[in-house]
Amino acid sequence: MVYTASRAELIGRLGQAPTVRTAQNGQTVVSFSVATEHAGKDGHRVTDWHAVVCFGTQADFAARYLTRGRLVSVAGRLVYRSYQGADGQPRQVAEIIAQEVGALDRPPAPAPQEGETDADR
């Protein structure tokens, strides 16, 4: 069962490299998690993790340009899904189906190759 809510917008950092897979219809699907922070009741920083799923051009962009730790902006619709886990227990998940994905920082510089100097790059 799927329930859809209105628009969701996030700015946060990628927790890991995006996962790329191909759906049965041949469409590329990319998923990743975004961490956001807020102040908790005791003043400490609290991290929330958000699941993001991309299709089409957004998936192509995410697969090509996003890496772990990148600062990103995500906007899309919030979807709640329920399913049965491998252990037979019912599970629920909230995902953002991305309609807009953008990188807000510069990509990290490539690591120098062995024996390479700054002048070689």
Amino acid at 40: G
2-108 CATH: 2.40.50.140
Helix (H, G, I), strand (E, B) or coil at 62: helix
pLDDT at 106: 83
Residue ranges in 31-105 assigned as alpha helix (H): 56-65
For 80-119, b/e burial (b = at least 16 CB within 10 A) is eeeeeeeeeeeeeeebbebeebebeeeeeeeeeeeeeeee
In this predicted model, what pLDDT tens digit does every residue of 44-56 receive, in sequence order? 999 999 999 999 9
Q: Give pTM, 2 decimals.
A: 0.79
Q: Would you say 104 and 112 are in contact if contact means Cβ atoms under 8 Å apart?
A: no
pLDDT at 43: 84
In this predicted model, what pLDDT tens digit does every residue of 95-110 receive, in sequence order? 999 999 999 988 776 7
Helix (H, G, I), strand (E, B) or coil at 115: coil
pLDDT: which is higher, 4 or 24: 24
The domains of the chain are located at 2-108
